């Protein structure tokens, strides 16, 4: 197999579902913009060098349907010959897309590909527009269709993750994100055009464009303040809107090339795609996914957890993120985990998340001058995914 290199990895800001700055921006615009930007920012790369595009999306329907992978490629202005596909592994769709794009290059089927991720939860909410659990299977196995919040409650109660610890974790995530934003450390963000429909004086509406530069969900809060929020999913639980990830709109793209193509075109590799894995777990505690995926991918790569300099572990919920961190024995190295905050502050745009965390991971590896980074997340339905990158 061939070595694959990442030559670019960027993301849009993440903006809150419905109330955020992207709430009127079509998902196709977010994804095509970030793919186009990724190409433009890559020295010596032209759109015609691309072979294929993989776009991860957790609910690829309606505005995100009609094979968004192909639509986005065309809207980005790529030549007809650049093919496109939509990839769905729920919350790991973005990293799955990068892995598939990488595999194509490793196999020699493609030379240059894009692995991307997208979700506009404003347009297509979680569960999609037409959820239809199977009538009989939902009777015998309702946990297959369980709400994510309940799985977070299950993790909290089964593994004794206290409300207080969750709130402290959440407050830290917000604080780290605010600090990174204020210090300009989100170097992976590309300021992104957004749309709004503005009422004119004569009562008609006009579509206007403006630029969004930052994640708009960061909200510095104390653990005490978060402690006052009411639980959402369970009457007597511990999971609140404050210690859960935000529902968010966003897109991210990573460009992958073979070593040969890098040499030929003069592309500058920033990292190597080392390994990737997924693993299943119980669906009613899907948040434990990273706990199994991370050791598995480390073993595949022949690395130890101590070799990792940057962890981007998706904060679907404080309860599951904290539990995984504790069980992996890395609570002692919190300065390597989600150093610029996680989804509690920055949002979890489902299918985008894996692609977004890859961009963040690579930026953060550069910031700390580290070598290995891990991107991992839990996945609805009961799964975990993890990928390892090596900065060059």
Partner 1 sequence: MIRKVRKAAVIGSGIMGGGIAALLAGAGVKVQLLDIVPFDLKDEEKNDPIARNRIVKSGLDAALGSYPSLFFNKKDAGLISIGNLDDDIEKLSECDWIIEVVVENLKIKRELFTKIEKVRKTGSIVTSNTSGIPLQDICQGFSKEFKEHFMGTHFFNPVRYMHLLELIPGADTLPEILEFIAAFGEKNLGKGIVWAKDTPNFVGNRIGVQGIGATMKTMTENDMTIPEIDAIFGPALGRPKTAIFKTTDLVGLDTMIHVLKNSYDLCPDDEQRDTHILPDFINKMAEKNLLGNKTGGGFYKTELTPEWKKIRKVLNPSTMEYEDLVRPSFPCIDDAKKKSTLKEKISCVLNGDDKGAKFAWKMAVNSFLYAANRIPEIADTIIEIDNSMKWGYNFEMGPFETWDAYGVKEAVERIEEDGFDVPANVKEMLAKGNTSFYKLENGIQYFYDFASGSYKKVPVSKNMVSIAAAKGNNKTVLENKSASLVDIGDDVFCLEFHSKMNALNLEIFEVFGEALDYVDKNGVGLVIGNEAGGMPGAFSAGADLGVVSKFCHDKKYAEIYAFLKDGHKSMQRAKYSPFPVVAAPYGLVLGGGCEVCLSADKMVAHSELYMGLVEIGVGLLPAGGGCMNLWKKYINALPAKTAKDIDLAKLFVPAFMKVGMAAVSGSAAQAQGNGFLGQADRIVFNRDNLIGEAKKEVLKMVDDGYVPPAKQGLIVMGDAGQGMVNAEIFNMLNGKFMSDYDAFLAKRIAYVMSGGDVRVGSLVDEDTILKLERDAFVDFCKEEKTIARIDHMLKTGKPLRN
Structure tokens at 274: 């080392």
Cβ nearer to partner 1, comparing 79 with 131: 131
Q: Answer for the pair 302, 295: CB distance below 8 angstroms, yes or no.
A: no
Give the largest Cα separation in the chain, rounded: 66
CB 307 within 8 A of CB 171: no
Of 349, 343, 345, which is closest to residue 250 (Cα–Cα)?
Answer: 349
Scanning residues 152 to 191, which ones bind partner 1 (CB under 8 A)?
A: 153-154
DSSP state, residue 67 = T
Q: Judged by CB under 8 A, does residue 90 bind partner 1? A: no
Kindly determine how many residues on this chain lie close enough to bind partner 1 according to the rule CB under 8 A. 24
- Among residues 15, 57, 281, 378, which one is catalytic? 378
Residue of 133, 193, 225, 329 that binds partner 1 (CB under 8 A)? 133
Q: Which CB atom, from 106 or from 127, has the smaller least distance to partner 1?
A: 127
Residue carrying the six token digits 């891990």: 374
CA–CA distance, 177 with 156 (Å, rounded to integer): 24
Determine if 142 is a binding residue for partner 1 (CB under 8 A).
yes
Q: Which stretch binds partner 1 (CB under 8 A): 137-145, 247-255, 271-279, 329-337?
A: 137-145
Q: How far is the CB of 379 from partner 1 (least distance, A)?
A: 18
Work out how close the CB of 312 gets to partner 1 at its nearest, in angstroms, rounded to a whole number.
29
Q: Return the axis-axis angle of helices 353-368 and 93-107, rounded to nearest 10°.
A: 80
Counting contacts by CB under 8 A, is residue 83 touching partner 1? no
Under rule CB under 8 A, residue 147 binds partner 1: yes
Report residue 248 CA to chain centroid gap: 10
Shortest Å, Cβ 197 to partner 1: 21
Contacts of 43 (CB under 8 A, 6+ apart): 266, 267, 268
Span interacting with partner 1, options 139-147, 272-280, 298-306, 308-316, rule CB under 8 A: 139-147
Consecutive H or E run containing 117? strand 112-120
User: Which is closer to partner 1, CB of 139 or CB of 206?
Assistant: 139
Residue 230 binds partner 1 (CB under 8 A): no
Residue 91 forms beta bridges with which residues?
A: 89
Q: For residue 234, state whether it binds partner 1 (rule: CB under 8 A).
A: yes
Told to check if 139 binds partner 1 by CB under 8 A, we report: yes
* Cβ proximity of 306 and 329 under 8 Å: no
**Whether 91 is catalytic:** yes
Q: Which of 91, 324, 352, 361 is catalytic?
A: 91
44 touches partner 1 by CB under 8 A: no
User: What are 165's two structure tokens?
Assistant: 């610890």
Q: CA separation (Å) from 74 to 29, 68, 207, 379?
A: 11, 10, 22, 30
Among 1, 80, 135, 201, binds partner 1 (CB under 8 A): 135
**Does the protein bind partner 1 through residue 138 (CB under 8 A)?**
yes
143 belongs to the binding site for partner 1 (CB under 8 A): yes
**Residue 280's beta-bridge partner residues?**
383
Among 1, 80, 132, 184, binds partner 1 (CB under 8 A): 132
Which is the catalytic residue, given 15, 262, 348, 352? 348
User: What residue has token string 């130890």?
Assistant: 304
- DSSP assigned state of 374: E
Backbone angles phi, psi at 385, to 5 degrees: -135, 150
Give the residue, chosen from 70, 106, 145, 272, that forms a contact with partner 1 under the rule CB under 8 A: 145
Residues with catalytic annotation? 91, 348, 378
Residues in touch with partner 1 (CB under 8 A): 129-135, 137-139, 142-143, 145-147, 149-150, 153-154, 233-237
């Amino acid at each position: 197999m061939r070595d694959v290199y990442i030559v670019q990895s960027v993301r849009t800001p993440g903006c809150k579902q419905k109330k955020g700055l992207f709430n009127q921006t079509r998902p196709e615009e977010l994804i095509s913009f970030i793919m186009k930007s990724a190409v433009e920012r890559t020295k010596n790369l032209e759109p015609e060098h691309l072979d294929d595009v993989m776009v991860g999306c957790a609910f690829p329907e309606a505005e995100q349907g009609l094979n968004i992978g192909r639509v986005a490629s065309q809207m980005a202005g790529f030549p007809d010959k650049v093919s496109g596909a939509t990839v769905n592994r729920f919350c790991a769709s973005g990293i799955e897309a990068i892995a598939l794009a990488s595999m194509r290059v490793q196999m020699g089927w493609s030379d240059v590909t894009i692995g991307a991720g997208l979700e506009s939860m404003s347009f297509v909410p979680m569960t999609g527009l037409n959820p239809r659990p199977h009538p009989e299977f939902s009777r015998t196995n309702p946990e297959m269709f369980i709400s994510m919040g309940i799985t977070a409650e299950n993790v909290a109660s089964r593994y004794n993750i206290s409300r207080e610890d969750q709130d402290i974790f959440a407050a830290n995530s917000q604080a780290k994100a605010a600090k990174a934003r204020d210090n300009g450390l989100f170097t992976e963000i590309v300021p992104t055009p957004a749309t709004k429909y503005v009422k004119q004086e004569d009562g008609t509406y006009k579509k206007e464009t403006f630029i969004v530069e930052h994640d708009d969900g960061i909200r510095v809060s104390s653990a005490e303040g978060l402690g006052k929020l009411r639980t959402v999913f369970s009457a007597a639980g511990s999971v609140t809107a404050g210690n859960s990830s935000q529902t968010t709109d966003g897109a991210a793209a990573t460009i992958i090339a073979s070593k040969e193509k890098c040499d030929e075109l003069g592309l500058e590799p920033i990292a190597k795609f080392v390994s990737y894995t997924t693993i299943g777990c119980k669906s009613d505690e899907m948040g434990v996914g990273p706990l199994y995926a991370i050791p598995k991918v480390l073993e595949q790569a022949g690395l130890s957890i101590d070799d990792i300099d940057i962890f981007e572990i998706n904060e679907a919920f404080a309860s599951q993120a904290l539990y995984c961190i504790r069980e992996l024995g890395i609570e002692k190295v919190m300065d390597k985990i989600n150093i610029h905050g996680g989804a509690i502050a920055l949002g979890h745009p489902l299918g985008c998340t894996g692609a977004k965390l890859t961009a963040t991971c690579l930026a953060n590896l550069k910031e700390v001058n580290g070598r290995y980074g891990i991107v991992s997340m839990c996945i609805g339905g009961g799964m975990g995914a993890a990928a390892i990158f090596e900065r060059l």
